[in-house]
Chains A and B, each alone.
Chain A
Amino acid sequence: MQPIKNVVVLGANGTMGSGAAGLFAASGYDVVMLARGIDKAHQGLARAKEAVRSDVLGKRIRCGSYEQDLEREVAAADLIFEAVSEDMAIKGPFLERIDRARRKGSVVATVSSGLSIAKMVEGRSTDFRRHFVGMHLFNPPHVIVGTEMIPGPDTDRELFSGLVAMLEKRLGRIVIECADQPAFAGNRVGFKVLNECAQLAEHHGVELVDYLVGPYTGRALAPLATIDLVGWDVHHAIVENVHANTKDEAHAAFAMPAYMARLMDDGHLGNKTPGEGGFYRRMTDANGAKFKSVLDAKTCGYSEGPGARLKLAFVEEIKALHASGRYAEAMAKFLVAEGPEADLARKVILGYVSYGLHRVGPGEVVPTPAGVDRIMGYGFNWAPPTVLVDLWGKRQTLAALERAGLPVPRVLSALKDGERLSTIPKATIGRFFFGK
């Protein structure tokens, strides 16, 4: 691999483009930020400085526009990092321009979160195809270190290994290699859970679903609040891509609910559209007090006041155990709690374990459980399926999957009694469980 000293970022005004530019500059690379206009690139630079909290970052960054600077800067770059809109029709022409302008041997990376890498290199030159990779950082990249690397059909293996080492050593990333499958590993597994929760919300209500699959189950943020945070449009693009291009044992879980499509037509995209809202809408009452109004997925209306504060004994007991650091006891209780609500929570969490571990192995998304481990743990900040299995033990997990009517992944049936599945040190798993 040729040494990488300077990086050109396309789409530098976007959230990921500016975040990635800041990350590269902070790691010691000279960076050129390109956008539709130089003023847009400067906006991206301001955002990058704010994210890493330093003015001196600007010393390593120059700004430019596609029209004036793209060919010249791409020709001079060691690494061209493409972060334009997540739309093949927009990416295609940029990749063509890059192919024409770049010098042989330079690396081209796309930050796409799940589009086909093979499709992106169709019609590209041989040298481009050899030097092209998917490099999926998670937002915001200066905080979240999990990174997916995806080789294209002709990517040079030595180059690929060199880039993985660079990401790990110089950019402090935790890297996994993924097959070129829709949404790769993290989004495939994560958005299956999120969309399933959106489906369940129609019958069980937004508040109950977010309460039952909340932080106590091993995540920083409840699932429907997470969809509001990432944006309904992004959610839609990801689940639609997976639904259209995969056929696995949980295919139906990727069908976006009709009520979400209706609300999206009316401009409801989550936190990015505060007026319309998403599953939640921030409101102010007559006395000026702020509250979160909650969507009724059946009627597509919002609650007049804040949502009900739910309290179920088994959930509160598990939270208290997490709060005192008793994670194994807490999750053991989760497995044996009784009642329809506990069944619902287990359906989602055991479904996550089953689905996540089914993505491991030949012909799947990642070769070993460590891939799911790392990306769910350090990309999503969720308790990885492997960690949950290790807390429960093989026998208890198999029994719970059977009770929930969920398929057993091969890596789980092949696990020896007493053997740990996770590569994450046992003493550090507490970070994934929340006492709230």
Chain B
Amino acid sequence: MAPKKSSRPVHLLGGFQTDFARNWSKESKHLVALVREAVLGALEATRIEPGEVEVGHVGNFAAELYCMQGHTGALIVDVDPAFSGLPTIRHEAACASGSLAALAAAADIEAGRYDLALVLGVEMMKTVDSKKGGDFLGTAAWYDREAKGIEFPFPKLFGKLGDEYDKRYGLKDEHLARISAVNYANAKLNPNAQTRSWFMNYDHACSTGPFNAHIGGRIKLTDCSQVTDGAACVLLASAEFAAKWAARNGKQLASVPRILGWGHATAPMEFTKKVEESKGDRYVLPQTRKAILDAFARAGLPGVEAIDCIETHDCFTTSEYMAIDHFGLTAPGESWKAVEEGVIEIGGRCPINPSGGLIGAGHPVGATGTRQLLDAYLQVVGAAGDYQVAKARRAATLNIGGSGTTSVVHVVGFD
């Protein structure tokens, strides 16, 4: 059955990302400070008054665990007196929480309920040490079966994704190292990237030792995304609001990008079940592939050849390796070709993660989906600064919760 598409367009007006290198615990800040800075930054960047916002959608994974703070949707109201009375909703799908918030906000606009929605993704993770944080992240898997009592469960699960590729098609660690090096190199161009001042190169990613130890299976430290405090906020609008907004800012409505298409699919929670389900399939994670195809279909695009750059979910190098063939940049199992040919680098045919992605830019879990959308926006309006992809008109995002469990894809740009 072809995916359904609303006839009401959803425009993306821009937004704001906090500096992912900051440690908000060291600054002795409450989660609400992170919410405030992202929301106020987005309002300033888009020149929107708080009173104009009609609904707030918040993506957050686990503030209850990291910060002893639930009810995170309501924290928006603290930002400005004009927000008192605003309907707010919190969404959770592990690392895909930020994209779920965007999906729900877009659905509000498509349904004609509201004309202007604020979408915030937020996570504060440096409140605990890495082992405890790793345990919290384990709740994004089937905790009792896949994470309980296991140190750093997620590197192990995504190590298994690499192993599955190895079994079906063969996988060389040097290609994973190249993916890591490209993400870190891109992050150096991004003034908000967590690792922008860190040392990293391909040789280091290939090395093994105390500075690059194995964390889980074949996954080494340089294959991992970061533990990050951060938030990103974007504003979505109906055509009616976007037209008014464009006029008052001296723009044409045609220059305001839209969410052209979206895909959303959920696979079985346990990784072994995902693998069982995909036996005989050319794609290791067929539900992720489905989300990508649905987004292309809704956008009316033939395939990845119509996309100028991608912000994908590289929680580990293996997840980006998976994204390359699942997007269709290569045949299944041949992602290594795109890595070797430089397709994924800035200046390549379809740059992946010009921002640095989760490995280079950082991965505040609940904020990642909104950060990806913001970066897609910056690319298609030509405002990405040093990490701008030349002449980008359409950008895709892939945001994944769990071990490939929830997949959300957006295509942003112009027809």
Contact = CB atoms under 8 A, between A and B. Distances in A.
Interface of A: 22, 26, 49, 52-57, 59, 142-143, 145, 172, 215, 220, 319, 322-326, 426-428, 430-431, 433-436
A287 B197 CA distance: 42
Given A53-B211, A145-B197, A324-B36, A431 B19 contact: yes
B32 A324 contact: yes
B6 interface: no
B197 A435 contact: no
A215 B27 CA distance: 9
Given A55-B211, A59-B203, A142-B197, A427 B45 contact: yes
Q: Which of B40, B44, B204, B209 has the most CB of A within 10 A?
A: B204
Interface in B32-62: 32-37, 40-41, 44-45
Which are the 8 A-B pairs with shortest beta-carbon distances?
Answer: A325-B33, A435-B28, A427-B41, A325-B36, A26-B199, A52-B199, A436-B28, A56-B203
A394 to B, nearest CB: 21
B203 A435 contact: no
Q: Which of B29, B201, B203, B212 has the most CB of A within 10 A?
A: B29
B188 interface: yes
A436 B24 CA distance: 12
23 contacts: A22-B199, A26-B199, A49-B211, A54-B204, A54-B207, A54-B211, A56-B203, A145-B197, A322-B29, A323-B30, A324-B29, A324-B36, A325-B33, A325-B34, A426-B44, A427-B44, A427-B45, A428-B19, A433-B27, A434-B28, A435-B30, A435-B33, A436-B28
Contacts of B28: 215, 319, 322-323, 434-436
Contacts of A431: 19, 22, 27
A48 B73 CA distance: 45
Contact of B36 (A54, A215, A326, A433): A326
B32 to A, nearest CB: 5
B16 interface: yes
B197 A430 contact: no
A172 B22 CA distance: 17
B204 A430 contact: no
B78 interface: yes
A305 B207 CA distance: 48
A167 to B, nearest CB: 13
Given A55-B209, A55-B211, A172-B188, A427 B199 contact: no
A435 B29 contact: yes
Given A143-B197, A322-B29, A323-B28, A430 B211 contact: no
A434 B27 contact: yes
A11 to B, nearest CB: 21
Nearest to B196: A172
B21 to A, nearest CB: 9
Interface in B185-209: 188, 196-201, 203-204, 207, 209
A59 B27 CA distance: 37
Contacts of A326: 36
Interface in B71-113: 78
A52 B200 CA distance: 9
Contacts of B26: 220
B199 A54 contact: yes
A227 to B, nearest CB: 21
Contacts of B211: 49, 53-55
Interface in B257-311: none
A56 B201 contact: yes
Nearest to B200: A54
A378 to B, nearest CB: 11
Nearest to B27: A434
A55 B41 contact: no
Contact of B16 (A52, A57, A427): A427
B44 A430 contact: no
Nearest to A325: B33
Given A142-B199, A145-B197, A325-B29, 14 more contacts: A54-B199, A54-B207, A172-B188, A319-B28, A322-B28, A323-B33, A324-B36, A324-B78, A426-B44, A428-B19, A428-B41, A430-B29, A431-B19, A435-B33
Interface in B347-399: none
Contacts of A430: 27, 29, 33, 37
A57 B33 contact: no
Contacts of A220: 26
A49 to B, nearest CB: 8
B14 to A, nearest CB: 13
B81 to A, nearest CB: 13
Contacts of A142: 197-199
A213 B212 CA distance: 40
Contacts of A49: 211
A427 B30 contact: no
Contacts of B198: 52, 142
A427 B40 contact: yes
A143 B194 CA distance: 12
A55 B201 CA distance: 12
B29 A56 contact: no
B42 to A, nearest CB: 9
A63 B98 CA distance: 49
A7 to B, nearest CB: 15
Nearest to B35: A325
Interface in B303-358: none
Contacts of B29: 322-325, 430, 435
A26 B188 CA distance: 12
Contacts of B196: 172
A426 B26 CA distance: 21
A430 B211 CA distance: 32
B186 to A, nearest CB: 13
B33 A324 contact: yes
Interface string B4-28: 0000000000001001001000111
A56 B205 CA distance: 9
Nearest to A50: B211
Contacts of A22: 199
Interface string B200-236: 1101100101111000000000000000000000000
